[in-house]
Amino acid sequence: METPDLPDLVCLSHLRWNFVFQRPQHLMSRFAQERRVFFFEEPLPSEDDDVPWLEVRRTDEGVIVAVPRLPAGLDLARSERLQGTLLQALLREHSVEQFVAWYWTPMALGYSADIEPLAVAFDCMDELSMFKGASSLLLQREAALISRADVMFTGGMSLYEHKRALHPNVHGVPSSVDVEHFAEARARRADPPDQAGIPRPRLGFFGVIDERFDIELLRSAAAARPEWQWIMLGPTAKIDPADLPRAQNIHWLGSKSYKELPRYLSGWDVGVMPFALNDSTRFISPTKTPEFLAAGLPVVSTSIRDVITPYGEQGLVCIADDPESFVRCVETLLEHDHDAHLARVDPFLASTSWDRTWARMKSLLDSATPSRRLSAPAA
């Protein structure tokens, strides 16, 4: 239920609401229960090449999503001017006056520098400057955003250590898990039709398949154990799908909704996280780590820092980087004591939830936001 005296939240995002249900969706769905939340995405091509317009919809979670639709072929300066115009129109249309600006991308400063929020929050989920195709302007704009922000969050602890000296009010806030949702996978359920005919054992991954995914590790490990079935769920981005390894025991099942995931995971034997070790993964904090554990699955991952600490150090995840070690980890996990595994996992999971993470971030945001300026009623 919305609280009238709370300022609106205007989010400026490089991620799309309907792409993968992750940190922005978990947080903003909760904020939307207490205040109005506007989620302004990156532009898409307009159906009419001459007319820029704003596609606006309200999600089931109560978030108002706005997508600029722009003519194709615009340079950055023209694109950002039009985005700024559409953002201002959105604020006027919905009478957004007292609001907090929440940034996920520094690039949004290019079209939002003229807005006047009560406060600015920067949720630095990843080191975007290290991602494939990152703008040459990104670091410059990030410095400008950090200087403007009243509170800053990082999506993991290694990224926090990397950024902590840049802002006086920065907080490491790793992504969390909806334990109840993923724990549905612990009860064996009927397989979805596209998974039902796949033999066991099944090793699975879900998430975006992009430059952070180690294609060669998957190729070699699958070839080493042709009797194991590798199930890959998720969209591809910034890589050519033709480069993905093809084999009888590798199954590319495409994107699945957040709601569908427990049903797929309930039919898996091991969760795998074959992340490449490169610049794009140097500071990532994979949300799927606790999600796999909540589903009751043993997990093997490459040596991502935010997986090693705390999951590897506590014996909750097996760490391996080369195909031979990865295969050995899977062999061990296929023989693991399920009850003993859950006895270690569940106390750890009891200390984290998206509700707790959101409550902490809300408290920090509210502390950094001046009290709403309530004007006296007109005479």
User: Domain of 88: which CATH number?
Assistant: 3.40.50.2000
Whether 124 maps to a domain, the answer reads yes
Whether 377 maps to a domain, the answer reads no
- Do 293 and 193 fall into the same domain? yes
Which has the closest alpha carbon to 9: 47, 45, 40, 36?
36
Domain that holds residue 321: 179-349
Cβ(176)–Cβ(290) below 8 Å: yes
**Given this model, what pLDDT does residue 211 score?**
95
- Do 268 and 358 fall into the same domain? no
**Given this model, what pLDDT does residue 376 score?**
32
- Do 136 and 192 fall into the same domain? no
- Do 194 and 334 fall into the same domain? yes
**Given this model, what pLDDT does residue 246 score?**
96
Cα 138 to Cα 140: distance, rounded to the nearest angstrom:
5
**Given this model, what pLDDT does residue 31 score?**
98
Cα 154 to Cα 128: distance, rounded to the nearest angstrom:
12
**Given this model, what pLDDT does residue 377 score?**
36
Sheet holding 250-254, edge to edge: 250-254, 229-233, 202-206, 270-273, 299-301, 318-319
Residues of the chain with pLDDT under 50: 372-379
- Residue 75 neighbours by CB distance under 10 Å: 7
- Do 15 and 105 fall into the same domain? yes
Helix and strand element counts for the chain (H, E) = 14, 15
Cα 22 to Cα 113: distance, rounded to the nearest angstrom:
27
pTM across the whole model: 0.93
- Do 166 and 313 fall into the same domain? no
Whether 191 maps to a domain, the answer reads yes
- Do 74 and 219 fall into the same domain? no
Whether 379 maps to a domain, the answer reads no
Cα 67 to Cα 64: distance, rounded to the nearest angstrom:
10
- Do 263 and 303 fall into the same domain? yes
C-alpha distances in Å from residue 130, one per residue of 8, 98, 107, 134: 32, 34, 14, 7
- Do 144 and 209 fall into the same domain? no
- Do 279 and 200 fall into the same domain? yes
At which residue do the structure tokens 């796999």 appear? 292
Strand partners, 123: 153
Task: Find all residues with CB under 8 Å of 136, minimum gap 6, and list them.
Answer: none
Q: Based on the structure, what is the number of domains in the chain?
A: 2
Q: Left, alpha or beta for 84 (phi > 0: left; psi -120 to 50: alpha)? A: alpha
**Strand, coil or helix: what is 356?**
helix
Residue 162 C-beta-side C-alpha neighbours within 13 Å: 17
